[in-house]
Chains A and B, each alone.
Chain A
Amino acid sequence: MILLSTGIALLLIQAPRLDEELLEAARKGDLPAVQALVGKGANIEAQSRYGQTPLFFAARNGHAPVVRFLLGKGAKTDVKDSFYKMSLLSAAADRGGVDVVAALLDAGANGSDALGIAVYRGNKEIVELILRKAKPPADELSSALQAAEQAKQPEIAAMLKAAGAKPPRKPEAVVAAEKLALLVGTYKGDPVGEFTVQLKEGKLFGMTQGQSFELGAFDETTFGLVQAPQVTLKFNVEGGKATKLTLDQRGAQFTLVRVEEK
C-alpha cells in the first residue's frame, strides 16, 4: 500500500516535469527527445504558461520533423496562445517555414491571421500554399490584398487578385453633418483607454494617445481610419445619440462606451 501510494506520488511529480521537458524539446526541435518523452507518457497537449503546446513551439520554430511526428500522434491544430492570441498556423506562417505550414494545412489547421502574417513577411511560397490549400474567405483575401499593396509587394498582390481578392471598399461615403455630430464625444474602454471623436470642418477625427486620425465613412455609423481603413469603428446610435463604439482591428474587437460630458 505504501509502495503503491509512493509510486503514484512519484508519477504525479514526474508528469509535470515530463511535460515541461517535452515543451522544451519541441521548442528546440529535438526529435529523439520528443519521441522518448511522448513514449514515457508526456502529454502532447501540455501547455506553457501562455497556452503554447509542443506542436505550437515546434511549428513556430520551424522544426518540421517534430511537427510531423506530433501531428502523427494526433496533436491538436486548433491552438492559440493565450497572450498574443496567435493561431498555430499563423505562428508557423510567421517563422516556421514552408514545410511546416504545408504539414499543418494538410492536417486541417486554419487560422484567419495566417495569410496576413505571410503577406507581412513577404513570403510568396507560404501565401501560395495558404491560397491553394486553405481557400481563405473573401474578407481575408481583401485584407491581405490591402496589406500587400501597402507593403509594396506587387507579386503577392497579383497572387491574391488571381485568387479572387477584391480591393477593400474605401471609407468615402458622404454623411450629413448633423449625423456626424451625433457621434462626437469621448469614449472609454479597455485596452484602448480613451478615444475622443471630434468634428472639424465637416470631417470626423478620432484622437487617442495624443494622436489624431481622420475617419472616413462607409455609412452613417461605420467608419474606417482614412490612413488604415482596415481599422474600423462601428458606432451604436440609440435615441438620437451615440452610446458606444466598437473598434475592429484585424478581427480583434474592442468596445468603448461613450462618457457623458460633466
Chain B
Amino acid sequence: MRHLTALLGICLAAQAQNWPHFRGPMAAGTADGTNPPMSWDVEKGKNVLWRTAIPGISVSSPVIWESTVYAVTSISSDSKSEFRAGLYGDTEPAKDTSPHTWKLYAVDLRSGGIKWQRTICEGVPKTKRHPKASHSSPSPAVDAKRVIVWFGSEGLYAYDHSGRQLWKKDLGVIDAGWFFDPDYQWGVASSPVLWKDRVFLQADQQKNSFIACFDAASGKELWRTGRDEIPSWGTPAVLEWDGKAQLVTNGTKAIRAYDPMTGKLIWSLKGNSEITCPTPVAGGGLIYVAAGYPPIQPIYAVKWSAAGDITLQGDATSNEHIAWSLKRGGSYQPTPLLYGGILYVCSNSGVLSAYDAKTGERLYQQRVAGKGGAFSASPIAADERIYLASEDGEVHIVKAGPKYETLASNPVGEVMMGTPAFAKGMLVIRTMKHLVAVGEPAPGSRPASGY
C-alpha cells in the first residue's frame, strides 16, 4: 500500500508529547506547545505530511507513544459491510454477520510507514453493531511498555512495542445495545485506560455490568466492581488532582467515581441521560460530566471533595458536592473540552456552547462554522485553537475564548468519526479509510510527494 513520504524540516524529538489513550492524557484533549497546523487540504495534498491506508471499518481514535501512532480496525469479509455516518435515529443493528479480522497497526509518526501490523483475532463477531459503529470502536491505550486493545466480546489484548503479544483475556460476551429493546445490539465503544501499570475497563451492558482493573504486565485481574447499570459507551477517566486520583465513569443510572487502586466507590450521582457516551474531564478542582440523550441532557461540575450519594434534590442545581449543573446542554457523543477556564460542549449536530467552567454561565452558543454538521469526534485544543472534526469531512478550527470565532475549516475528504491526536507540529487524524498526518513543513523543506 503506497503511503506518502516527505523530507521534513520538522524535528521530532525522542521525547515527543504522547497521546496515550482516547483524547490524550486524562482525556483532557489539550496539548499546548505542539503548535498544530492552521490550514491544510488533504484532497489537494496541501500540508499533508503523510497518508496511510487502513482497511476495514473503525470509529476508534489514534493514540501516540513517542514516534509511533497506534490504530485498530476490524475488516469484514463482506465488502459491502454497512456503515452509515450522519444524523439519523435508526436503532436497527447493521446486518453484517460475516467473519471479520481484527488488526492493530503501528505506524511511524514521522513518515506514515507501517512499522508492523498484527492480526489480533478472526471470526464472526459475537454481537451485532450499530450501523454507525464498528467492531473495533474502543481506541487503544499505550504506555512505555505496551499497547492495550479491547474489542469487547472479542477480548482484551496486550502487545509490546515490537508487536509481540504479551497476554490476552476473554471477558465473555459484552452485550451492549439499545436500552429499549435488548435484541438491538450496538457493540461496545468504551476504551481501555492505562494508569500506573494498570488497565481499567468499563463494561456496561444489558446484564452484569462491571468496571475492572487488570495488571498491565500480566493481565491478571486485580479487582472488579459490579455496576447496577444499563449499556453505556463512555470511556472512564483516571483523573488526578492535588496528589489524588479518582476513576470516574459516566452512566445512566448514576455517574460514579471509584478509587482506582481498590475499585471502592467514592461517590455517585443520579440523574442522567438514558444513553451516555462522553468521558468525564477535570480541572481546577472540578470534575465535569455530561450526556446528551433524553430525558435530560445534563452537565455536572462535581467538586473533587465529593463523597457518598451526591444526587441533587428537587430543583437544586448545586449542593455541597456539586458546584453547578444544568439539566440541558450536555452532548450526546462528543466529550466536553475544558480549556482556559471555559467548558466547551459540542452537540452531535455541531452546535458549540461555551460555559464559564467555574460558574456554568453560558458564554455563547453557535453553530460551528455557521453551519454545524454531524459530529461524533470530541473537540480538542492546543495553543488557543479548538479543533472540531466533523463526520462531513472537515476539521473546523475555532478560536478559544469567550467569544465565538471560526479561524479555519480544512477539508479532509473523508468521514471522520474518531477524535484526532496532537503531536509536535502535527495533527494525526483517523478517517474511515486512512491515518493522515497534517502539519506545516518548516521553510526550506521538500514538499510531500503525491499520493
Q: How large, as a class, is the contact surface on chain B?
A: 20 to 34
- Provide the A30-62 mask, 1 if CB < 8 A to any CB of B, else 0: 000000000000000000011010000100110
B295 touches A210 (CB 8 A): no
Contact for B180 among A81, A190, A193, A211, CB less than 8 A: A81
Cβ A210 vs Cβ B367 within 8 A: yes
One digit per residue, 1 when the CB lies within 8 angstroms of any chain B CB and 0 when it does not, for chain A 185-197 equals 0000011010000
A211 to B350, CA, bound (A): 11
Given contacts A28-B183, A210-B372, contact A191 B294 (CB under 8 A): yes
B372 and chain A: residue at smallest CB distance: A210
Expressed in whole angstroms, the minimum distance between the Cβ of B311 and any Cβ of chain A is 18
User: Quick check: is B337 within 8 A (CB to CB) of the other chain?
Assistant: no
Is A83 touching B294 in the complex (CB atoms < 8 A)?
yes
Q: Are A209 and B365 in contact (CB under 8 A)?
A: yes
A210 and B328 contact, CB distance less than 8 A: no
A interface secondary structure, majority: loop
Which residues from B are CB-within-8-Å of A60?
A: 181
Is the Cβ of A83 less than 8 Å from the Cβ of B372?
Answer: no
Indicate whether A27 reaches chain B with its CB closer than 8 angstroms: yes
How long is the Cα–Cα vector from A60 to B367 in the complex, in angstroms?
A: 37
Q: Which residues of A contact B295 (CB under 8 A)?
A: 83, 191
Interface size class of A (residues with CB under 8 A): 10 to 19
Contacts of A210 in B (CB 8 A): 351-352, 365-367, 372
Tell me, yes or no, whether B329 is within 8 Å of chain A by CB. Answer: yes
Contacts of B180 in A (CB 8 A): 50, 52, 81, 83-84
Least CB separation from B327: chain A residue: A190
Known: A50-B179, A84-B180. Is A193-B329 also a contact (CB below 8 A)?
Answer: yes
Q: Which residues of chain A are within 8 angstroms of B327 by Cβ–Cβ distance?
A: 190
Give the docked Cα–Cα distance between A27 and B183 (Å): 8
Evaluate contact between A211 and B183: CB separation under 8 angstroms.
no
- B residues in contact with A83, CB < 8 Å: 180, 274, 294-295
A60 CA / B328 CA spacing, docked (Å): 30
Closest to A28 in B: B183
Bits for A58-70, please: 1 = Cβ < 8 Å to B, else 0: 0011000000000
**With a CB–CB cut-off of 8 A, which chain B residues contact A28?**
183
Chain A residues with CB below 8 A from B183, complex form: 27-28, 61
B347 lies within 8 A of chain A by Cβ: yes
Q: Provide the bound-state CA to CA distance between A114 and B251, in Å.
A: 32
A60 to B184, CA, bound (A): 13
Q: Give the shortest distance, in Å, between B72 (CB) and chain A (any CB).
A: 33
In the bound complex, CA of A57 to CA of B181 (Å): 8
Cα distance, A136 to B346, chains bound together (Å): 41
Q: Is the CB of B347 within 8 A of A209?
A: yes
| Distance to closest chain B CB from A208 (angstroms) | 9
Q: Per-position contact with A for B156-181: 1 when CB-CB < 8 Å, else 0? A: 00000000000000000000000111
> In chain B between 312 and 341, which residues have their CB closer than 8 angstroms to a CB of chain A?
327-329
| Residues of the B chain whose Cβ atoms lie less than 8 Å from the Cβ of A84 | 180
Establish whether residues A193 and B179, one from each chain, have CB atoms under 8 Å apart when the complex forms. Answer: no
For A57, list chain B residues within 8 Å (CB): 181
Find chain B residues with CB under 8 A from A209 CB. 347, 349, 351, 365
Expressed in whole angstroms, the Cα–Cα distance for A81 and B352 within the complex equals 32
Q: Would you list which residues of chain B between 255 and 306 have a CB under 8 Å from chain A?
A: 274, 294-296
The smallest C-beta distance from A260 to any residue of chain B, in angstroms, reads 18
Q: B38-50 toward A: CB 8 Å interface, digit per residue (1/0)?
A: 0000000000000
CB distance from A34 to the nearest CB of B (A): 16
Query: Which residue in chain A gives the minimum CB-CB distance to B352?
Result: A210
Distance in angstroms from A94 CB to nearest chain B CB is: 10
Name which of A49, A81, A193, A209 has the most chain B CB atoms within 10 A of its CB.
A209
Kindly list chain A residues whose C-beta atoms are within 8 Å of the C-beta of B347.
209
The residue of chain B having its C-beta at the shortest distance from the C-beta of A209 within the complex is B351
Chain A residues closer than 8 Å to B328, beta-carbon distance: 190-191, 193
Would you give 25 A-B contacts (Cβ < 8 Å), ordered by A?
Answer: A28-B183, A50-B179, A50-B180, A60-B181, A61-B181, A61-B183, A81-B180, A83-B180, A83-B274, A83-B294, A83-B295, A84-B180, A190-B327, A190-B328, A191-B294, A191-B295, A191-B296, A193-B329, A209-B351, A209-B365, A210-B352, A210-B366, A210-B372, A211-B351, A211-B372
| Known A27-B182, A60-B181, A190-B327; further 13 A-B contacts with Cβ < 8 A | A27-B181, A28-B183, A50-B180, A81-B180, A83-B274, A84-B180, A191-B295, A209-B347, A209-B349, A210-B351, A210-B365, A210-B366, A211-B372
Which B residues are within 8 Å of any A CB, using their own CB? 179-183, 274, 294-296, 327-329, 347, 349, 351-352, 365-367, 372
Identify the 6 closest CB pairs spanning chains A and B, nearest first: A210-B367, A210-B351, A193-B328, A209-B351, A210-B365, A210-B366
